[in-house]
């Protein structure tokens, strides 16, 4: 592995660590504020509410929206740096982009695609909820649509991404 490829792998590892730390912070905050996903009295009380009052899925969509936003931003920053290598040396740029052809990187790109899609569709859902002043039932239905679209488009895109190595 060349030094430029090592630098990219180190940068990508730093992005993973940052996203993991942010995700852990989000989960810790959820646990502190309302018990998180574990079976506590507070969770049981939330789940026993009428479906119109239950917003559990929207809360987890909020957390996932934040985590995917940080992940997409982190990779975008790294990607800007790796593309800027072209200004210094075309051969270094070509060596660096050989990493993108590896199987682990293609699997990562599939995860990145799913993160981008969820962040996009959930963001559009939030805009629709705000503009149309929708209630909890409509918000939950739109979340279902956002997840379904994410999976449908993400799995199709992942098939294309993984096709050269399959």
Domain encompassing residue 82:
3-165
Domain total in the chain: 1
Neighbours of 19 (CB within 10 A): 19
Tell me, what's the pLDDT at 80?
93
Tell me, what's the pLDDT at 43?
67
Burial class of residue 163 (count of CB atoms within 10 Å of its CB; 0-12, 13-18, 19+): exposed
Tell me, what's the pLDDT at 86?
92
Half-sphere exposure of 125 (CA within 13 A, CB side): 26
Whole-prediction pTM: 0.83
CATH number of the domain enclosing 92: 1.20.1300.10
pLDDT 10s per residue in the chain (166 long)?
888 899 999 999 999 999 999 999 988 887 777 655 556 677 667 667 766 666 778 888 988 999 999 999 999 999 999 999 999 999 999 998 899 889 999 999 999 999 999 999 999 999 999 999 888 888 889 999 999 999 999 999 999 999 998 7
Q: Are 47 and 54 contacting, i.e. CB atoms less than 8 angstroms apart?
A: yes
């Amino acid at each position: 592995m060349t030094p430029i490829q090592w630098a990219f792998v180190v940068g990508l590892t730093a992005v993973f660590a940052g996203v993991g730390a942010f995700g852990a912070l989000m989960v810790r905050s959820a646990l502190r504020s309302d018990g998180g996903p574990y079976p506590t009295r507070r969770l049981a009380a939330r789940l026993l509410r009428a479906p119109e009052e239950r917003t559990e899925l929207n809360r987890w969509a909020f957390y996932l929206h934040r985590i995917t936003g940080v992940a997409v931003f982190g990779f975008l920053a790294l990607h800007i740096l790796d593309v800027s290598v072209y200004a210094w040396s075309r051969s270094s740029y070509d060596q660096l982009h050989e990493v993108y052809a590896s199987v682990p990187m293609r699997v990562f790109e599939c995860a990145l695609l799913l993160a981008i899609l969820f962040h996009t569709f959930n963001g559009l859902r939030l805009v629709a909820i705000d503009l149309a002043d929708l209630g909890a039932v409509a918000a939950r239905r739109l979340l279902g649509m956002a997840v379904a679209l994410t999976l449908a488009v993400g799995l199709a895109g992942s098939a294309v991404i993984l096709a050269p190595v399959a």
